[in-house]
Amino acid sequence: MFRAVPQDRAPVIVLKEGTRRIYGKDVLMNNILVAKVVAETMKTSLGPKGMDKMLVDRLNNIVVTNDGATIMRLAQFKHPVAKMLVEIAKSQDIEVGDGTTTVVVLAGYLLINAADLIKKGIHPVTIAEGYRKSLKKALEVIDSSSMSIKISDRETIIKAVKTSLSAKYVSQYSDHLANLAIDAVANIAEYSDDGWKVDLDNIKITVKAGGSIDESRLVRGIVLDKEVAHPDMPRKVENAKIALLDSPLDVKKPELSARVYLETAEQYKQFLLEKENIVKEMIEKISNCGVNVIFCRMNIDEKVQHYLARKSIMAVKRVKKSDLEKISKATGAYILSTIDELSKDDLGKAKIVEERRMRAEDKMLFIDGCENPKALSILLRGSTEEIVREAERCLIDGLSIIRDLYVDNRLVCGGGSIEMEISLGLREYAASLKGKEQLAVQAFADAIEVIPAQLASSCGMDPIVAITTLRAKHNEGQSTIGINVIDGQYEDMYSIGVLEPAIVKKHVLKAATEAAVTILKIDDIVVASSVAEKEEDTEGTEKE
């Protein structure tokens, strides 16, 4: 396959020796098979009644989860198509924070249904075209079915967060976590002409095992996993005036190779005294500015620590740059590149800075009571390390859902109800199309119905009966009916509060369609030699 062989002449080398190429009709079918295996595996973990997967990572750590993004990340797929599906789950997670299982399942079923059409003789490009049209129509259905909410409507936002967290272990605490997340986002969200901007990096989640999730709380400032530098410094400073320093706090080293020659003991004493005077002068200046707390990114010289302590100034050394930036946003302090720049205007304020004992010898530093902080912390507690980590993942998901609603304040009904509306819309649309395209749009509608069908199976309902029942109800105009998986019944999703941000569903549809269309158009895989050697057992039909 690497050579084109002209008649009576030497063959021409086209690809490097060792390169593998998989091509022809079978490539597409193989790729679809891979997507099918991944989608079918992921499908059973969909929804609050979804099954868990147990994964063992390279270091033999065991993870039990039903979170789509986590399963995809840890599964270590080798085939390029499976890796593409991992990528769409990842991007779904990063961009909207939810819908990761759904996106993989939908992409898989779009491909499975495409395979049936290909077997009937329809060209993959025609199917891809039909899928693109379906996507456009489906997005229109979401727009017309969604409802706008006010960003101050806490009750409804909590419902959306709880829907997103309903599949998680710590779901009984979702009310508390949702409230924390709403307050945190409300503080850091910024409004401009372009609408709301929410940068979740301005929320620092600090986890500390011990206590219960209920004891987790919002801190109007920053919590650091740090201690005060010197034992004689104060452990608590009220009405803190804070300086932030991006360089070490010590007596300046002599420039480059300058040397000081000391010949007598007297000179040496003088030298030390001089150094001490410089330190004293520096501390005097800091103290005169009114500083009573210093956070330093680098080290603080022992002598400097000692004199700071004498002036009752609290200092913390080796604070991460990213934390300094957050403290700056929370307190209004300016980050100084050297202490020489210090002036009163650069200081930040906090009601209190305190080192608190968390458990046994564990201490943490709280900068609390900031006025209008533009960055803040959530301190997460929970009985074990595993539980606080899980609570952290839930909190991150909740924060993403709230950010989504700030960016686009529209919600749709979950529990398979929006999917049934989309399928209804697509079937009506298909009737207006001709021949092969019509089949592709119907295939898209069938694929999206896999979501309600799976939610039905997950709670012991017959999926075929569920789909026909839901179709009938949606046809009658009961547009918010879905599956209540908790008690296995058809119910109005709006009234039971199963609500999801419209942009999550839109992202699912766009990403899944894009992946399916991309895979449908691949008819050739070329694997570079070094990769080919490493991945000897990659699936596929090989042809020479």
Q: Annotated catalytic sites, by residue?
A: 67, 100-101, 397
SS3 for 327-373, per residue? Answer: HHHHHCCCEECCHHHCCHHHCEEEEEEEEEEEECCEEEEEEECCCCC
Q: Is the dihedral of CA 116, 119, 122, 126 positive or negative?
A: positive
Q: Taking CB within 5 to 8 Å according to partner kind, which of ligand ADP, Mg ion, none is near residue 485?
A: ligand ADP
Assess contact for 157 and 181: CB atoms under 8 A: no
Place of tokens 């020479």: 544
**d(C-alpha 220, C-alpha 244), whole Å:** 18
Least spacing, CB of residue 414 vs ligand ADP, in Å: 2
> Would you count residue 68 as binding ligand ADP (CB under 6 A)?
yes
Strands 293-296 vs 236-245: parallel, antiparallel or unpaired: parallel
Q: Which 8-state DSSP code applies to residue 167?
A: T
Q: Which residue is nearest to ligand ADP (CB)?
A: 414
Contact (Cβ atoms closer than 8 angstroms) between residue 493 and residue 480? yes
* Residue number closest to Mg ion, CB atom: 98
Among residue numbers 73 through 102, which ones bind Mg ion (CB under 5 A)? 98
Of these partners, Mg ion, ligand ADP, none, which one is at the site of residue 102 (CB under 5 to 8 Å by kind)? ligand ADP
Closest distance to Mg ion from the beta carbon of 69 (Å): 9
Q: 186-225 mask for ligand ADP (x: CB under 6 A)?
A: ----------------------------------------
The residue within the footprint of ligand ADP, chosen from 394, 498, 515, 525 (CB under 6 A), is 498
Residue 124 in contact with ligand ADP, rule: CB under 6 A: no
485 binds ligand ADP (CB under 6 A): yes
CA distances from 181 to 157, 167, 221, 270, 406 (A): 10, 18, 15, 58, 13
Q: Are 517 and 139 in contact (CB under 8 A)?
A: no
> Is residue 46 close enough to count as binding ligand ADP by CB under 6 A?
yes
Between 108 and 221, name the residue whose CB sits nearer to ligand ADP. Answer: 108
H or E stretch covering 162: helix 154-165
Kindly tell me the burial class for residue 501, based on how many C-beta atoms sit within 10 Å of its own C-beta (0-12, 13-18, 19 or more).
buried
Task: With contacts defined by CB under 6 A, name the span among 44-52, 127-135, 169-177, 181-189 that binds ligand ADP.
Answer: 44-52
Q: How far apart are CA 173 and CA 398, in angstroms?
A: 12
486 scored as a contact of ligand ADP (CB under 6 A): yes
Q: Which does 486 bind (CB under 5 to 8 A by kind): Mg ion, ligand ADP, none?
A: ligand ADP
Could you give the CA distance from residue 544 to residue 112 in angstroms, rounded to a whole number?
A: 28
The minimum distance between CB 98 and Mg ion, in angstroms, equals 4
State the minimum distance, in angstroms, from the CB of residue 213 to ligand ADP.
19
Q: What does the block give as tokens for 40?
A: 């079918």
What residues have CB less than 8 Å from 166, skipping those under 6 apart? 48, 174
Q: Would you say 348 or 414 has its CB closer to ligand ADP? A: 414
> Which residue's CB is nearer to ligand ADP, number 401 or number 443?
401
From the CB of residue 383, how many other CB atoms can be counted at a distance below 10 Å?
12
Min separation Cβ 102 and ligand ADP, Å: 3
| Binding at 202: pick from Mg ion, ligand ADP, none (beta carbon under 5-8 Å per type) | none
Q: For residues 349 and 327, is the Cβ–Cβ distance under 8 A?
A: no
Neighbours of 372 (CB within 10 A): 8
Please give the Cα distance from 327 to 339 (Å, whole number): 17
Q: How many CB atoms lie within 10 A of CB 353?
A: 30
Question: Of 187 and 400, which has the nearer Cβ to ligand ADP?
Answer: 400
Instruction: In whole angstroms, give the CA distance from residue 524 to residue 544.
Output: 13
Near ligand ADP by CB under 6 A, which window of 42-50, 180-188, 284-292, 535-543?
A: 42-50
Site for ligand ADP in 84-103 (CB under 6 A): 98-102
Q: How far is the CB of 167 from ligand ADP (least distance, A)?
A: 4
User: Site size for ligand ADP, by CB under 6 A?
Assistant: 23
Greatest Cα pair distance in the chain = 102
Q: Are 410 and 146 in contact (CB under 8 A)?
A: yes
- Residue 414 binding partner per list Mg ion, ligand ADP, none, with a CB distance cut-off of 5 to 8 Å that depends on partner kind: ligand ADP
CB of 68 to ligand ADP, least distance (A): 4
Task: Out of 439, 500, 515, 517, name the contact with ligand ADP by CB under 6 A.
Answer: 500
- Shortest reach from residue 176's CB to ligand ADP, in Å: 18
Smallest distance from ligand ADP to CB 67, Å: 7
**Residue among 361, 372, 331, 304 at smallest CA distance from 237:** 331
Q: Give the one entry of Mg ion, ligand ADP, none that residue 491 binds, where binding means its C-beta sits below a cut-off of 5 to 8 angstroms depending on kind.
A: none
Task: CB nearer to ligand ADP: give 366 or 490.
Answer: 490
| Contacts (CB under 6 A) with ligand ADP, residues 399-438 | 414-415
354 binds Mg ion (CB under 5 A): no
Exposed / middle / buried, residue 396 (Cβ in 10 Å: 0-12, 13-18, 19+): middle
Question: Judged by CB under 6 A, does residue 50 bind ligand ADP?
Answer: yes
Selected binder of ligand ADP within 455, 461, 517, 527 (CB under 6 A) = 455
In the set 48, 348, 382, 398, which binds ligand ADP (CB under 6 A)?
48
**Would you say 249 or 448 has its CB closer to ligand ADP?**
448
* Residues found near Mg ion in the complex (CB under 5 A): 98
* Residues found near ligand ADP in the complex (CB under 6 A): 46-48, 50, 68, 98-102, 163, 166-167, 414-415, 451, 455, 483-486, 498, 500
